[in-house]
Structure 1
Amino acid sequence: MANRFAKLIFIPAPGVGHIVSTVEVAKVLVNRDKRLTITILVIKPPSVDTGLTINACIEALAKNTVDDRISFIQLPQDEASSIFDPEDLMSFFNVFIKSHCKYVRNVVSHMTSQSDSGRIVGFVIDMFCTCMIDVANEFNVPTYLFFTSNAAVLGFNMYIQTLSDEMNKDYVIELSHSDTVLSVPTFVKPLPTKLFWNLVQIREGLDFVLESIRKYRGVKAIMVNTFLELETFAIETMFADTSIPPVYPVGPILNLEGGSHVEKPLDDDLIKWLDSQPHSSVVFLCFGSLGFFDESQVKEIARGLEQSGHRFVWSLRQPPSNQTSILPSDYEDPSVVLPDGFMERTRGIGKVIGWAPQVAVLSHDAVGGFVSHCGWNSLLESLWFGVPSATWPMYAEQQMNAFEMVVELGLAVEIRLDYKKDVFNPKANTVVNVTAEEIERGIRGVMEDNEVRTKVKEMSAKSRFAVVEGGSSYESVGRLIEDFVKDLS
């Protein structure tokens, strides 16, 4: 009976979306097999306000995670490495996360010295925490990667490494700044190079991506937050590539109960208003935890909304209040940045709110369209609830997510595919505003295109079946668990 429990060490990146997905996949695993226990090692983010948000997120998730086979340990933090400069994102990856390796080593060493009835069978690390693979190797424990984005982007990253090895890094960077297209194995159609993930467009970022991908190739398996019916081509392409570790589609992994933020519930006034609206008549605009715009862009959005004539709920956030913060906040009075008279003219037609509990709004019967920054969690949520999206990507891999949803899969309409914004260093932005006419066209498309709406409803049903008994992700999770526990006696 000495090894009847299989312990897993989960290490998420210190971002709300990454932590929420990690906790949710942990819940899926322990609910499926009583032999599994999971310890989640939490890296506190360096900036104070982000740290407070993460702490509240962890507290809320822990409160909602009643299973005693999931536990949380907050790691200590080096004072020197916790000084965060939003303008130097690479130091966050290269210095800050790596500085926690010694603390992970200490925790695991303590766990292995305990004479209990279980043993550590694997590290499950976030896509940005590949430095932890070295720690797992020290304990002779296999590493599994949890890729919180989609299979097509995972394949893109793998291909960029191959391309860099075959050509050179300068070629990749030049390509990413060109106005051409590239055939990427996990995309059906050629991918415009201007949509490349912004990290591969600079030398330091590309170096980090290449180092990470080389480590990806050495893990035992890769879990991806997607499902076979959604990304059939990308997943089957990777299944056939023997240079890539076994891929397990385990999604959609979603937090549908809320409790992932310092969460205020959907306020009564908004609920009453939504309850009074016709079915699928409201477009919801929400741009993620880092999404904000300057005043000139806010005015274009307002004009586009007004010209579209559609009912709306708009989560409007203001830029970070100080230089060490990356988080937007709510306006005390949003009318200060809106066109004169906008609030009066749209009274009864729309609601301008601050932070929004996204799942609660998307799940409401009145909501029929979603203007989104195309974070992968947000797109999976919109598909789950059968709400088509209009794409307004901002940073990271969101442009490629938007391309896949619009061009590859026909599950969204385009506002822009190539919009890029540096949310970490707003002073560096040279973005051209999305015009009111583009916004109006996108809103009309997402609310009125019945072909896209039908396809999204069909994919919604497939996403819900994927995770129940007999579904593709359910079966994939079962195979993954067998891999975890196969050496238990």
Structure 2
Amino acid sequence: MDKPHALLVASPGLGHLIPVLELGNRLSSVLNIHVTILAVSSSSSSPTETEAIRAAAARGTCVITELPSVDVDNLVEPDATVVTKIVVTMRAMKPAVREAVKSMNRKPTVMIVDFFGTGLMSVADDVGMTGKYVYIPSHAWFLAVMVYLPMLDKLVEGEYVEIKEPMKIPGCKPIGPKELMETMLDRSDRQYRECLLGGEEIPTSDGVLVNTWEELQGNTLAALRGDGELNRVVKVPVYAIGPIVRTNGPIGKPNSIFEWLDQQPERSVMYVCLGSGGTLSLEQTKELAWGLELSGQRFLWVLRKPTSYLGVNSRDDDQVTAGLPEGFLDRTCGMGLVVTQWAPQVEILSHGSIGGFLSHCGWSSVLESLTKGVPIVVWPLYAEQWMNATLLTEEIGVAVRTSELPAKGVIGREEVAFLVRKIMVEEDEEGRKIRAKAEEVKVSSERAWNQGGSSHSSLFEWAKICRLVSS
């Protein structure tokens, strides 16, 4: 008899693609079902996205089909944000997705879309699937804000950024100006209206899968599921099935990064990486460099080209390092390593010499750090990263943060050095508590996916309800 079949649809962009690829791999390997992933590409798809698809296909756990995105230039304003373009693209992909499903030899039992693809859920009804679900590759607080946003839109007058008191989310941590998602900063912008529509569409699904676990966010999950106001808004079951992260891959030998890491003492290196899109101004790049040097701590820095140098025609490596203070590489030689190309993040965070992570706080990077027990210096730049930074510092307790949002001003070298030392220096009392908490979270993340663990059980509960496994 044919295995049950789940269909996943991934939005364009590396940050959306990888979480869906990893979810597909988890569904296939744990539930032993057939998984098809429709990956919507874009005209600006990066070589890294292509490599991610190739590597996922090589695992052989899922069938991956790339769907070229449709041209939406006539559907969006010339200055439309990336979020607006992605959401409009996914909605316009409905005919192509429907035809792709109809051409499959075996009809999918269920359809899973990410939160940019909620406009595609009607396809599941059109072709007679038994269920349609939304995958939130972020955390439960993000989900709570998303589904409650239509209520805030009615309750709050004016711009959210001008509200002095944090806005209440029933049963959850309130959200203030320093936590607002980027899409909430301007209510007149179309991306806000698209985000609002997504919040309205999520409750029309048959359920939500979220990339967190009970021990990490039990109170927020309880609010989403309980009999209070938030549950009456979300309306559908919420399944915590995280952490779902990339697994370690093979490291080509020789590899200069790991040769260097192998020579460093245990837990002695601060890993610095602000994501694939994490570019800083030239001034901030210099201050970060000075701060790392002043800290006196070892560091591995995956450095991107400063924003003022973007688009300049020159050798990439030269242009990237040209943004560093004069003599920086010579002075820090031996204590630090600057990498200007792609680096294997999961494998780096798994290395015994890594003691901290200065991160942009994309949720995938956060989970990769937490599952390795690595505490974080949060450096949020865009999207929901400001929320993530607050969650990590104030609620979970595994991170330290800058005195102001890096997007709002330049963080000085003295503050950088202070934060790095707080995480890395053994004698710092607050740092000791943060490191201990990071280790606790690592253990709880492993426990969640053990046989009978909370996420393992939640996944099977969902799979039984949508008839992917027998009861």
Using the size of structure 1 for normalisation, the TM-score is 0.86
Determine the structure 2 residue equivalent to 1:210: 196
1:161 Cα shift? 1.6
**Structure 2: which 5+ runs fail to align?**
426-430
Distance 1:290 1:266, change over 3 A: farther
Q: Distance in 2 between matches of 1:123 and 1:335?
A: 45
1:319 Cα shift? 4.6
C-alpha deviations, 1:60-113, integer Å up to 9, x for none?
1111x223xx211111333565999786325413432222111101111223xx
Q: Does 2:55 correspond to 1:60?
A: yes
Determine the structure 1 residue equivalent to 2:441: 459
- Contact 2:11–2:41 at 8 Å: present in 1 too? no
- Contact 1:176–1:201 at 8 Å: present in 2 too? yes
Stretches (4+) displaced over 6 A: 82-86, 320-325, 486-489
Secondary structure of the residue aligned to 1:9 is strand
Secondary structure of the residue aligned to 2:204 is coil
Identity of aligned residues (%): 31
Using the size of structure 2 for normalisation, the TM-score is 0.89
- Contact 1:82–1:96 at 8 Å: present in 2 too? no
User: Equivalent of 2:8, from 7, 10, 16?
Assistant: 10
C-alpha deviations, 1:291-322, integer Å up to 9, x for none?
11121111100111111111111111115799
Residues 8-407 of structure 1: matches in 2 within 5 Å? 8-34=6-32, 36-47=33-44, 50-63=45-58, 65-67=59-61, 70-79=62-71, 81=73, 88-111=81-104, 114=105, 118-141=106-129, 142-165=131-154, 167=155, 171=157, 174-185=159-170, 187-188=172-173, 190-202=174-186, 203=188, 204-240=190-226, 241-244=231-234, 245-258=236-249, 268-319=255-306, 331-332=317-318, 334-354=320-340, 355-407=342-394
Q: Distance in 2 between matches of 1:416 and 1:61?
A: 39
Q: Distance in 2 between matches of 1:242 and 1:486?
A: 27
Distance 1:82 1:277, change over 3 A: farther
Distance 1:342 1:319, change over 3 A: closer
C-alpha RMSD of the superposition: 2.6
Distance 1:232 1:292, change over 3 A: same
User: Equivalent of 1:419, from 406, 414, 417?
Assistant: 406
- Contact 2:81–2:191 at 8 Å: present in 1 too? no
**Structure 1: which 5+ runs fail to align?**
421-430
Q: Distance in 1 between matches of 2:176 and 2:453?
A: 34
Q: Distance in 1 between matches of 2:113 and 2:367?
A: 21
Distance 1:175 1:87, change over 3 A: closer
- Contact 2:4–2:468 at 8 Å: present in 1 too? no
Q: Distance in 2 between matches of 1:148 and 1:488?
A: 26
- Contact 2:214–2:240 at 8 Å: present in 1 too? yes
Determine the structure 2 residue equivalent to 1:444: 421
Higher RCO (CA < 8 A, seq sep 6+)? 1
1:454 Cα shift? 0.4
Distance 1:148 1:194, change over 3 A: same
Q: Distance in 2 between matches of 1:482 and 1:339?
A: 58
Secondary structure of the residue aligned to 1:120 is coil
Distance 1:266 1:216, change over 3 A: farther
Q: Distance in 2 between matches of 1:401 and 1:470?
A: 28
